[in-house]
Chain A
Amino acid sequence: MLRIKPDQKQRVTVTVNGKAVSGYAEPRMLLTDFLRHELGMYGTHVGCEHGVCGACTAIIDGAATRSCLRYAVQCDGLEIQTVEGLADADGTLNTLQKAFNENGALQCGFCTAGILMSSTKFLQENPKPNDDEIRDMLSGHICRCTGYTQIVRAIRQASGQ
């Protein structure tokens, strides 16, 4: 059994976008804070820290879910995909990102990282979704500036429809 004292800093190793990286976390450190402040990966955004806004959504151990409701110590040894892993190393956007760009599916971009990660996993499971299915998936995200119509359009375009 693993036990970590409240003020003990535990070494945590995760594979982020295919690369093994390590940092230190005491038990109460959120995975979002670990990604941002320990690993310096600021792509994953933090909005509400109670699961409602969706900004922090990442693909953790194969599931698109909230990184603000996970503690870093729970994730030792897991695979995590974040928005930094979507574009090519030279910065070329992937199909989904291009579709967001071409459809005006983002303005300030605060919600975008989370929506892209949900959509990535969603399209793997459901490659040809209809608009109702896309909207149902999007209900787990809050975007305060773009309006959802362009986001739905972008996801549909990315699915080749």
Chain B
Amino acid sequence: MKPVAFEYCRPDTVEEALDLLKEFGSDASIISGGLSLGAMLNMRLVRPKALIDINGLGELADIKAGDATIRTGTLIRQAGAMEMPVLMSGVPLLAKALPYVGHYQIRSRGTLGGSVAHADPSAEIPLTLVTLSGAVTLRSPGGSREVPAREFFQGLLTTDRRADELVTGLTWPIRRDLTGYAFEELAQRHGDFAITAVAAEATVAGDGSIADVSFGLGGVEDRPFVATTAGFVGKPATAATASDIANTIAETVDPMVDLQANADYRRQLVRVLGARVLTAAFNDATGQQEAA
């Protein structure tokens, strides 16, 4: 199908983009990579009066590494991110998640920020940002604000972004010492949207017990989220505890039901993938202890 007729606007500066958002509000669609929006336009699931093309805003494609965080501009392409050593070694969970995002032909153009703004419940980049407790930076004519990723995603394709705001960048916490990272998902074919995706960050203390664990789930409920695992801190960082955590969390989730899977199947994936990913994160952390 073909999209509805729209005005095409290509701002040269962020200020011009914000002026356009003020002018059109929710009647405008921002186009980044277009890998998700293009399909929605062509199927007329969205019918904007104006398309605001932000691809000319070079200032939104930069990367800044600080001591504790790395900031990526919204326009960095998914494939481009995979070629950035600072980002891939600084944020190992993102390095593990990105190869699962779509296909070669999608990542070449799709952007990090576009995926976050789109907020598909099973998308890998939002899940990674939530698991690591990163943040999203937004700009409107009124100024800038930073929203914790865990508050940004509010439901299926729904975020905390207001119609006059532009996502300008993402903030990624840099890897911590003695901390392991793991990511895995199940999809019908590699590159398809995950039926369930699981991410983990785990810090293991010198005595082999869990000092901190973040267990993120995607494709299970209507947004990516981190399960409550505080009760497991202090337990031994072993495969048995990993299974315990995954089995416990599987009972608490309220899974989506769609053509790909029913609730029981998704719950089972939380158990199986969860145990695997938590074990891998524990091993990654203890491996670093042994190496140290």
User: Nearest-CB distance from A17 to chain B (Å)?
Assistant: 19
Q: Which of B177-220 contact A (CB under 8 A)?
A: 189-191
How big is the B interface, by class? 35 or more
Among B6-14, B120-128, B139-147, B266-274, the one that faces the other chain is: B6-14
A63→B106 CA distance, assembly (Å): 10
User: Nearest-CB distance from A81 to chain B (Å)?
Assistant: 13
Q: Please tell me if B175 contacts chain A, counting CB pairs below 8 Å.
A: no
A68→B39 CA distance, assembly (Å): 9
> In the complex, what residues of A have CB within 8 A of residue B79's CB?
63
Q: Please tell me if A27 contacts chain B, counting CB pairs below 8 Å.
A: yes
- Binary B-proximity of A1-24 (CB < 8 A = 1, otherwise 0): 111111100100000000000000
A74→B105 CA distance, assembly (Å): 18
> In the complex, what residues of A have CB within 8 A of residue B49's CB?
6
User: Nearest-CB distance from B31 to chain A (Å)?
Assistant: 8
Tell me if B8 and A1 are in contact (CB < 8 A).
no
Q: Which of A91-126 contact B (CB under 8 A)?
A: 118, 122
- A140/B5 contact (C-beta < 8 A), A1-B11, A30-B42, A68-B42 known: no
Tell me if A50 and B38 are in contact (CB < 8 A).
yes
A64→B77 CA distance, assembly (Å): 13
User: Nearest-CB distance from A49 to chain B (Å)?
Assistant: 5
Q: Please tell me if B265 contacts chain A, counting CB pairs below 8 Å.
A: no
User: Nearest-CB distance from B148 to chain A (Å)?
Assistant: 31
Tell me if B34 and A137 are in contact (CB < 8 A).
no
Q: Please tell me if A44 contacts chain B, counting CB pairs below 8 Å.
A: no
> In the complex, what residues of B have CB within 8 A of residue A128's CB?
none
> In the complex, what residues of B have CB within 8 A of residue A137's CB?
103-104
> In the complex, what residues of B have CB within 8 A of residue A141's CB?
105
Partner of A139, one of B11, B39, B77, B190: B190
The 6 closest A-B pairs by CB, nearest first: A140-B103, A69-B38, A50-B39, A27-B8, A6-B5, A63-B108
